[in-house]
A and B are shown apart, each in its own frame.
Chain A
Amino acid sequence: MKKAIAIVSLTAAFAAASQSQAVTITLACGAVGQELQLCKEGAARWSKKTGNTVKIFESPNLTNDRLGLYQQQLAARSSDIDVYQLDVIWPGLLSQHFVDLKGKVPASEIGQFFPRIVEANTVNGKLVSLPWFTDAGLLYYRTDLMKKYGYSAPPKTWAELATMAKKIQDGEKKANPTFTGFVFQGKNYEGLTCDALEWVNSFGGGTIVDQTGKITINNPKAAQALDTAASWVKSISPAGVTTYDEEAARGIFQAGNAAFMRNWPYAYALGQGEDSKVKGKIGVAPLPAGPGGKPSATLGGWNLGVSAYSKNQAAAIDLVRYLTSPAEQKIRAIEGAYNPTIPALYKDQAILKANPFFGSLYSVFTNAVPRPSAATKGKYNQVSQAFSSAVSDVLNGKSKGQQAVASLATNLARIKGRGF
């Protein structure tokens, strides 16, 4: 009895102590698809466990806009935001503003992540952020329409995709004039860089800039890839595809108005949601390959880092550790189809049941092509914008592939100047 009282009073004392130290942490997370909802829920679970409060900072949808906003916060050494959700291409750009998590997070915990993603988050030996979810470009298709038009398997090459999309589009347009064959991210922004890198790489055209910083984009295979993509616009893709981002493409596919879509894994869970018109009719496959090339998916993904200007770093680190833990990643994988960054979770039956393609496309996620952010360092954004602008010109018929990659190479040389 005495012991019980002691335990109760001790627990109460601990609770009171932790209450008195309760702090408010501001977490900046994305709002694409279900991101915001899941982010809020995860944060709520952590605050319930620790007694701290979490304020959610809603970020813009376009990753370009988000980076601009964060840079202003960080350059001003603002302590308004404690934890940032960072794109996989940003660590090199922002490393100086973040707490080194090496030593602050147990090595065993860091060891459970994909080593390659941890490496991408490490700049000059400093662990800038912990991997939260990983991403790779996928091809979504309508299983019902494939059957209806007599196809048994998703397209293996871009040429096959074009033929299939054309046939399905021509057939479906009779009943639904807004129906289109293939939607992707054609707006001139970072998303187009991801899509176009997949085309170029799948044709065997390299990665814009190679690992040593050499500009490799000016080659006939890259030019051919861009010309191929341009041939889709207005034939199997709507004219407006050059204004679509992730959510615009998803909107069209999920409304049942497209046969194929290129998007990230998050679109799967939403497409299978109750309000989706294509629920139960979605297939997922690796993206098609170019002639003589192999399928390529651009590596995406988001990480969580703690601002060096945060006033509550210990609590902020604890929040990051909590959100990136296997239990949280499992919830996010099941509810939102966000790819875990922990290999062990790809064998979890509950996760595989919710996302059957996680198991079969495991190699797509582990072999995804990184954008040249490591080689171009602080100039990555300029490189990416020059690339997406050149691709945008080809898609809009303003230039041909060959001419575009040649002038892009000049442009990149101008950006490179004395070095990346």
Chain B
Amino acid sequence: MTTNATPTSAAPTRRRGIEAARARQAIWLLLPTLIALAVVAGYPLYRTIFYSLYDANLTSPDQRTFLGLGNFWFTTDGVGTGFLQDPKWWTAVKNTLLFTVVSVFLETVFGMIIALVVNSAFRGRAFLRTAMLVPWAIPTVVSAQMWAYMYNDSFGLVGRGILGGQALLANTDTAIWALIAVDVWKTTSFMALLILAGLQSLPGDMYEAADMDGASKWTQFWRLTLPLLRPALLVALVFRSLDALRVFDIMYVMLGPVNAAQTSMTGYARQALIDNQLLGVGSAVAVAIFLIIMVIVVIYVTAFRVRFD
């Protein structure tokens, strides 16, 4: 027993020793990154949460009074002053969710179609793959301004030319659809790129076998491509949804500061923080956005069992 015990226990110890050394090494290598993260992400987040509990002004942040959760919900003399009591906030939430659901859905469908097309072999495929990235490569501010001109009712290609003098951006109810169109135009190519990467990892001989068995292209898509593509697709969906939930620039450029506050949660936060100098309320809104996005991510990851490795 004793003679046997020594070699069997020695081997794992040594292996554990190497692993431990590697883990230590990893920590040292990661340390600069962790410190950088703490400084540029952790500290601002801490300050945001800190200020969300205070009644503070942007122009003089030093003079502040503790308010607890008063920035979120506070009623004084029968008047609700918390931002959760502001109907405009809920309009912003509703519009942002609508924007996210519709634009991400359309981008996924169109992105899938484009990816399937450029995945098949044809002449000029390389050129097409590059060309489709052009909308994605244009900075959002630039493309937003470009579309704002196109939507203009008196000289715009879309507003005057196609819609015959309608002003889609004038009304926030119609503007949201115009904004969705811009986002779909811009981001579909990014979605296509992510899906294309997924498609290229699928084995070609599998389709040959399916052809031999006489499965139609349609069946092949539903039974083979889509299930195998699921992990890549879900990661892409999570990324796009997060992006869409924190959308800011399209609204701000195309609608101006005040209407942007009714169409995006981030626009509302900016209005409170910058236009109205309410450092406390603005921080509270930012915290709320953070929580909303976190909850949605958790739902995504658990409901679809997304794996990031």
A71-B59, A257-B154 known; A378-B277 Cβ under 8 A? yes
In whole angstroms, how far apart are the Cα atoms of A383 and B246 in the complex? 26
**Which residues on B sit within 8 Å (CB–CB) of A417?**
76, 79, 81
CB distance from B32 to the nearest CB of A (A): 28
B258, A385: Cβ atoms under 8 Å? yes
A381-B275, A389-B88, A389-B262 known; A414-B79 Cβ under 8 A? yes
Interface-lining segment among B14-22, B121-129, B130-138, B163-171: B163-171
CB distance from A209 to the nearest CB of B (A): 15
Task: Return the CB mask of A377-395 against B: 1 if under 8 Å, else 0.
Answer: 0110110010011001000
A392, B159: Cβ atoms under 8 Å? no
In whole angstroms, how far apart are the Cα atoms of A72 and B273 in the complex? 10
Q: By CB atoms of chain A within 10 A, which of B153, B154, B274, B277 has the most?
A: B154
Task: Return the CB mask of A13-28 against B: 1 if under 8 Å, else 0.
Answer: 0000000000000000
A188 contacts partner chain B, Cβ-Cβ < 8 Å: yes
B275, A68: Cβ atoms under 8 Å? yes
**Which residues on B sit within 8 Å (CB–CB) of A379?**
276
In whole angstroms, how far apart are the Cα atoms of A67 and B165 in the complex? 33
CB distance from A208 to the nearest CB of B (A): 16
Q: By CB atoms of chain A within 10 A, which of B80, B88, B152, B256 has the most?
A: B256
B259, A392: Cβ atoms under 8 Å? yes
A360 contacts partner chain B, Cβ-Cβ < 8 Å: no
Q: Which A residue sits closest to B156, measured CB to CB?
A: A240
- Across the interface, B257 reaches (CB within 8 A) one of A64, A74, A397, A416, namely A64
CB distance from A266 to the nearest CB of B (A): 20
In whole angstroms, how far apart are the Cα atoms of A385 and B76 in the complex? 22
Contact residues of A between 368 and 420, Cβ < 8 Å to B: 378-379, 381-382, 385, 388-389, 392, 396-398, 413-414, 416-418
Q: Which A residue sits closest to B279, measured CB to CB?
A: A75
A96 contacts partner chain B, Cβ-Cβ < 8 Å: yes
In whole angstroms, how far apart are the Cα atoms of A257 and B276 in the complex? 37
A40 contacts partner chain B, Cβ-Cβ < 8 Å: no
Contact residues of A between 115 and 147, Cβ < 8 Å to B: none
CB distance from A376 to the nearest CB of B (A): 12
Contact residues of B between 48 and 106, Cβ < 8 Å to A: 57-61, 76-77, 79-81, 85-86, 88
- Across the interface, B59 reaches (CB within 8 A) one of A94, A388, A418, namely A94
Task: Return the CB mask of B261-298 against A: 1 if under 8 Å, else 0.
Answer: 11000000011001111000000000000000000000
Task: Return the CB mask of B149-186 against A: 1 if under 8 Å, else 0.
Answer: 00011100001100001110111110000000000000
**Which residues on A sit within 8 Å (CB–CB) of B255?**
188
In whole angstroms, how far apart are the Cα atoms of A416 and B257 in the complex? 21
Q: Which B residue sits closest to A407, measured CB to CB?
A: B87
In whole angstroms, how far apart are the Cα atoms of A416 and B78 in the complex? 12
- Across the interface, A414 reaches (CB within 8 A) one of B86, B167, B173, B274, namely B86
A62, B256: Cβ atoms under 8 Å? yes
CB distance from A78 to the nearest CB of B (A): 13
In whole angstroms, how far apart are the Cα atoms of A310 and B256 in the complex? 31
A188-B256, A417-B81 known; A239-B167 Cβ under 8 A? yes
- Across the interface, A240 reaches (CB within 8 A) one of B86, B159, B261, B274, namely B159
B256, A189: Cβ atoms under 8 Å? yes
CB distance from A316 to the nearest CB of B (A): 20
**Which residues on A sit within 8 Å (CB–CB) of B173?**
398
B154, A252: Cβ atoms under 8 Å? yes
A189-B257, A414-B80 known; A75-B61 Cβ under 8 A? yes
**Which residues on A sit within 8 Å (CB–CB) of B159?**
240
CB distance from B44 to the nearest CB of A (A): 15
- Across the interface, B259 reaches (CB within 8 A) one of A180, A188, A252, namely A188
CB distance from B262 to the nearest CB of A (A): 7
**Which residues on A sit within 8 Å (CB–CB) of B76?**
417-418
A243 contacts partner chain B, Cβ-Cβ < 8 Å: yes
Contact residues of A between 229 and 246, Cβ < 8 Å to B: 238-243
Q: Which B residue sits closest to A416, measured CB to CB?
A: B79
In whole angstroms, how far apart are the Cα atoms of A178 and B276 in the complex? 38
**Which residues on A sit within 8 Å (CB–CB) of B257?**
62, 64-65, 68, 189
**Which residues on B sit within 8 Å (CB–CB) of A221?**
none
- Across the interface, B154 reaches (CB within 8 A) one of A68, A178, A187, A413, namely A178
**A-side interface residues toward B, CB under 8 Å?**
62, 64-65, 67-68, 71-72, 74-75, 93-94, 96-97, 178, 180, 186-189, 238-243, 252, 257, 378-379, 381-382, 385, 388-389, 392, 396-398, 413-414, 416-418
Sample (18) of A-B pairs whose CB atoms are under 8 Å apart = A62-B257, A64-B256, A71-B59, A71-B274, A72-B274, A96-B60, A178-B154, A178-B160, A238-B167, A240-B159, A242-B170, A378-B277, A381-B276, A382-B275, A382-B276, A389-B262, A414-B86, A416-B79
The 6 closest A-B pairs by CB, nearest first: A240-B153, A240-B167, A242-B170, A68-B274, A239-B167, A188-B258
Known: A62-B257, A240-B169, A385-B271. 11 other contacts (CB 8 A): A64-B257, A68-B274, A71-B277, A75-B61, A187-B256, A238-B167, A239-B170, A240-B154, A397-B171, A398-B173, A417-B79
**B-side interface residues toward A, CB under 8 Å?**
57-61, 76-77, 79-81, 85-86, 88, 152-154, 159-160, 165-167, 169-173, 255-259, 261-262, 270-271, 274-277
